[in-house]
A and B are shown apart, each in its own frame.
Chain A
Amino acid sequence: MNSKIEKQKQIFSLLNHKFGNLLDDQELPLNGPLEEESVAVQPADQDRLINKVYNFYKSIIQNINGGLITLDLDGEITFVNRTAAGMLGYQVEELHGASVDNLFGDDPDSRKCLRAVFLPGKRFDDREVTFRQKDGKTKIVGLSASPIHDENNKFDGIVLLFRDLTEIRHLKMQIERMERLALLGELSAGIAHEIRNPLAGIKASAQILEESFGVDDFRYQIVGRIVREVDKANLLLKEFFKFARPTKPKLKFHDIEMIIDGMYLLLAPKMQKRNIQFLTEFGDDVPQAYVDEGQLEQVFLNLFLNAIDAMPAGGNLKISTCKKRLRILDNEKDRMEVESDELNYVIVEISDSGQGIGPDNLKKIFNPFFTTKVEGLGLGLSICSRLIEENSGKIDVASQPDKGTTFVVALPSFVHN
C-alpha cells in the first residue's frame, strides 16, 4: 500500500514538473511512459498537489453520468463509482470486493460478454448487455470494456464503463410500436375496402334470397346462416378496427370511480351469479382524470369481464384507486405538450383472485389476436392498451399462477392533447 502511494507521489511530481499546474485543462499522458528523471519538489507541495489531483479525479469519476467499475483478473470488483452503484441499486461499499459475475444477467449474450471481458487485450464499446440489479430486476446497459496494464505492461485488470439504456430501449420500442400502429391503421383502410365491400354484396344478395323462400323452406335456413356468418366476420373486423384505428378520444375531466361504479352496475348480476365479490378501496384524494369517458368504460368493462372469466369458481375482484406522481419520458412530454417532468396520475388497480397467467402468456397478453379462451377473438386487451395509450395513460400487468392477476392503469389527471 505504502509503495503504491510512494509511486503515485513520484508520478504526480514528475507530471507537475513536466506539465505545470495539473488543474489546467490539459490532457494528461496517463498511460504514456514516464522518464526516470529526478525532480526537486518540496514534500509539502507534493502532498497538496497529490490531494488536489486525487480529489479532482475522484470527483470526475464519481460524478460522470455513467457507471465505472474496475476489476482484477479474478473478477473481483476493485473500484466502483457512485453512478454505477446507484444505477444497480447498491451502496458503493456493498460492491467493493464483490464478484462481477453477480452483476451480469443470465441471458447468453450477457454471459458471453462477461467471458470476453477477461480475454487479454480485449476491448469493446457500447455492447448491449443486461445487468442484474440488487432487487433482482434486470437493466439493459451499453457496456464498454478495456484492459488495465501494470507498469510492466502486463494485463492487470479491467475497466468497465456502462450507461443505462433502459429509457432509450423503451423509447425505441415505443417509436417502433407507433410506426407499426400507423402502418396497421393504413392497412386497415385497405382491409375495410377489400373485405367489407364484398361482405356487403354477399349479405344483400343473401337477404334478397332469404325473402324469396318461405320460413319453412330449408333454403331459407341456409341463406339465413350466410347472413349470420357475414355479420360474424364483420364483427371481427369492427373489433380489429377498434384496435387498428381507434376514434380520437373526446377528452374531459371525469371521476374514474363513477365510471368504475357504472361498469360494476352493468356486471353486478353476472358477478353475483358467479359468486364474485366486488371490493373497492377508493383513495381519499384521487383527482379527476382527463380521459374519454366512453373509451374508459370500454377499458374497465373489458378488464372486469376478463377478471370474471379468470374466476370460474368465484373469488374477489378488488379495485383500488390512488393518486401518484409519475415521471414521463421526453417524447411523451412532447406528444402530450406538457411542461413538467412529473405529473399527477390516477392509478387504478384491478386485482382478481383467479387462476393467474403464466409468464409466457403474460408477455403476449396485449398482442392482438392472442387468446387462451375458446370463444375469444383475442382483441380485448389489445384494444384496452390501445385506448389507454390514446388517452395518454399507461397499463401494466402482473400475475401469479393460481393466485391472481393485477392490472394497473395510470390515467392522466392533467390536460393533454
Chain B
Amino acid sequence: MDHQKRLLIVDDEETLTFSLYQTFINAPIECEVITASSGDDALSRVEEKPFDVVITDIAMPGINGLDLLSLIKAKNPQTRVIIITAYGSDEREEQAMKRGAEFYIEKPFDLREIRDLVFKMLG
C-alpha cells in the first residue's frame, strides 16, 4: 500500500516558507506538507518520520542546510533533497551535489519551476 507522501520545507524566511506551504497544500496531489524554520527543527521532524522530499535553505540558525542534507541522507538515503539558497556559488553547488542533493536552486526562483520538480519527485 502506498504511504502518504511527505514534503518538508525548511527556511528561516517566513514569507517564503508560507508561500511554498500554500503552493503545495493547495496543489492537486495527496501530500502532507510540514514546515520548519531552522535546521534543528527540521532534523527533529526528520527523526520522527522520514520525508519523500525536503526543500531546504542553506544559511539558517543552528544546523546549516548542507549538514542537514548529509544527516537526512545518512538516515533516509531515499529522501530527495532540493537546496534553495540566496548565496549561490559553484563550490557550494558542488558540495551540495556531492552530499546527495538532487537540485541546487538560487533564490529568488520561479515558483512554477520548483513546483514542477516536486510534483515529479512525488510521482
Contacts and interface: CB of A to CB of B under 8 A. Distances in A.
Given A189-B87, A193-B87, A207 B112 contact: yes
Interface stretch (B33-41, B45-53, B66-74, B103-111): B103-111
Given A208-B22, A208-B23, A202 B108 contact: yes
Name the residue in A196, A200, A245 with the highest tally of chain B Cβ atoms < 10 Å from its Cβ.
A200
B36 to A, nearest CB: 16
Interface residues of B, number: 25
Contacts of A98: none
A208 B13 contact: no
Interface string A203-231: 11101100000000000000000000011
B13 A198 contact: yes
A376 interface: no
A199 interface: yes
Contact of B86 (A192, A202, A230): A192
Contact of B111 (A195, A197, A203): A203
A123 to B, nearest CB: 55
B78 interface: no
A104 B14 CA distance: 64
Nearest to A250: B90
Nearest to B114: A204
Interface string B73-88: 0000000000010111
Interface in B19-37: 19-20, 22-23
Contacts of A189: 87
Nearest to A205: B19
Given A193-B59, A207-B111, A208-B22, A200 B90 contact: no
B16 interface: yes
B91 to A, nearest CB: 8
B59 A208 contact: no
Please report whether the interface of chain A is mostly helix, strand, loop or mixed according to DSSP.
helix
A17 B28 CA distance: 111
A200 B89 contact: no
B35 to A, nearest CB: 13
B89 A204 contact: no
Given A197-B13, A208-B22, A203 B86 contact: no
Contacts of B14: 201
B86 A200 contact: yes
A234 interface: yes
Q: Chain A interface residue count: which class? A: 20 to 34
Contacts of A247: 89-90
B15 interface: yes
A199 B108 contact: yes
A248 B90 CA distance: 9
B87 A201 contact: no
Name the residue in A196, A202, A204, A248 with the highest tally of chain B Cβ atoms < 10 Å from its Cβ.
A204
Nearest to B23: A208
A403 B59 CA distance: 51
Contacts of B109: 200, 203-204
Contacts of B90: 247-248
Interface string B96-123: 0000000000111111100000000000
A204 B23 contact: yes
B23 A203 contact: no
Interface in A163-213: 189, 192-193, 195-205, 207-208
A216 B108 CA distance: 26
Contact of B110 (A193, A197, A207): A207
B86 A204 contact: no
A202 B107 CA distance: 11
A197 B22 contact: no
A196 B23 contact: no
B89 A196 contact: no
Contact of A200 (B16, B22, B59, B112): B16
B87 A192 contact: yes
Given A193-B87, A247-B90, A201 B112 contact: no
Of all A-B residue pairs in the complex, the 4 with the closest CB atoms, nearest first, are: A201-B15, A200-B107, A196-B86, A204-B19
Interface of A: 189, 192-193, 195-205, 207-208, 230-231, 234, 245, 247-248
23 contacts: A189-B87, A195-B86, A196-B86, A197-B86, A198-B13, A198-B15, A200-B107, A200-B108, A200-B109, A201-B18, A202-B15, A203-B110, A204-B15, A204-B16, A204-B19, A204-B23, A204-B111, A205-B15, A207-B19, A208-B22, A231-B108, A247-B89, A248-B90
